[in-house]
Amino acid sequence: MGTAFQIRDLRFRYPSSAGDTIKGISFDVREGEIFGLLGPSGAGKSTTQKILVRLLENYQGSISYFGQDLRAMGHSYYEEIGVGFEMPVHFTKLTALENMEFFAGFYRSRADIQELMERVGLWEYRDRKVGEFSKGMKVRLNFVRAMLNSPRVLFLDEVTNGLDPANARIIKDMIAEYRDRGGTVFLSTHLMNDVEQLCDRVAFCVDGQLVETSTPRDLKLKYGRREVKVEYRENGALASAVFPLDGIGFNQEFQNLLQNREVETIHSGETSMEEIFIIVTGVKLNGQAE
């Protein structure tokens, strides 16, 4: 698998702002992976996506797309990417299907609109005006719009925001299937559920800089508490004890507990991505905790 994007020392300043919003970030997005850009509100996730989809120009540093300078790419670039914006934009006076047909008209390559709309549960509402759609329906339609041209790379900004768990699951399954068929996904989010279920690699962005790039698994190993918590009954009441995971097989106290008590639960103290998010984004760039 090749490299979809190679981003080196990317800097960007909005014309109206005094300082840089993106302060020199470097990362690769590999072909066929789901890459998650995470970080607190205002960190620069959407700005980074807007630069990568060429909505914002005048950046410094370099971005290459499958080995080609992004600045030199012609209109063909838009044929290759699918974009889900943070705020769904549709024509409210047109029906859902009219909207999708309108946007599909820009592309040479077309996905099956009916299949996509059926999958997200919107086909039966295709003749309704989007202005009458609920928020979740607009979000799902926004995802269909991103998939309309069967893109090679999919950009998704907060794609499941505002969806109920069942609908969020459908979208996540579709994203994973897209990746499994060889698609590349650049996803920005602050929903750690999405990250755990989807992302192959993640980068944490804080105040326009990247503080950590890794896999969710390695992050858990790095920041996880290596301990085991045992809940057991003692004289009828619930009691608990925590043991270090290292050397647990030789821990006599742990063995005694297992042999002599009525154990109710045993959990390894795995740190959730939510906790990792708070740890990582609270760490200053010099490595000192705030």
Ligand X SMILES: Nc1ncnc2c1ncn2[C@@H]1O[C@H](COP(=O)(O)OP(=O)(O)OP(=O)(O)O)[C@@H](O)[C@H]1O
Enumerate binding residues for ligand X (CB under 6 A).
Answer: 14, 16-17, 21, 39, 41-47, 86, 190
- Which segments within the chain are labelled E, that is strand? 3-12, 22-30, 34-38, 60-65, 68-69, 81-84, 153-157, 184-189, 201-206, 209-214, 227-234, 237-244, 262-268
Minimum Å distance from CB 207 to ligand X?
Answer: 9
Tell me: does residue 49 bind Mg ion (CB under 5 A). no
Nearest residue (CB) to ligand X, 16 versus 58: 16
Q: What are phi and psi of 221, to 5 degrees?
A: -70, -40
Cα 266 to chain centroid distance, Å, stands at: 31
**Residue 183 interface partner, choices Mg ion, ligand X, none, CB cut-off 5-8 Å depending on type:** none
Tell me: does residue 46 bind Mg ion (CB under 5 A). yes
**Residue 189 interface partner, choices Mg ion, ligand X, none, CB cut-off 5-8 Å depending on type:** none
Nearest residue (CB) to ligand X, 43 versus 154: 43
**Residue 17 interface partner, choices ligand X, Mg ion, none, CB cut-off 5-8 Å depending on type:** ligand X
Nearest residue (CB) to ligand X, 16 versus 252: 16
Nearest residue (CB) to ligand X, 52 versus 130: 52
Minimum Å distance from CB 280 to ligand X?
Answer: 15
Minimum Å distance from CB 73 to Mg ion?
Answer: 24
Going from the C-alpha of 225 to that of each of 45, 192, 244, 252, 273, the distances in angstroms are 29, 18, 9, 21, 12
Minimum Å distance from CB 153 to ligand X?
Answer: 19
Cα four-point dihedral sign 244, 249, 251, 257: positive
**Residue 167 interface partner, choices ligand X, Mg ion, none, CB cut-off 5-8 Å depending on type:** none
Cβ neighbours around 285 below 10 Å, total: 11
Tell me: does residue 189 bind Mg ion (CB under 5 A). no
SS3 label, residue 243:
strand
SS3 label, residue 108:
coil
Write down how long the chain is. Answer: 290
Q: What are phi and psi of 266, to 5 degrees?
A: -130, 125
Amino acid symbol at 267: H
Nearest residue (CB) to Mg ion, 100 versus 208: 208
Please list every residue from 77 through 96 that binds Mg ion, using CB under 5 A: 86
Task: Tell me how many residues contact Mg ion (CB under 5 A).
Answer: 3
Nearest residue (CB) to ligand X, 183 versus 208: 208
Tell me: does residue 47 bind Mg ion (CB under 5 A). no
Distance from C-alpha of 83 to C-alpha of 55, rounded to nearest angstrom: 11
Tell me: does residue 167 bind Mg ion (CB under 5 A). no
Residues at the contact surface with Mg ion, assessed by CB under 5 A? 45-46, 86
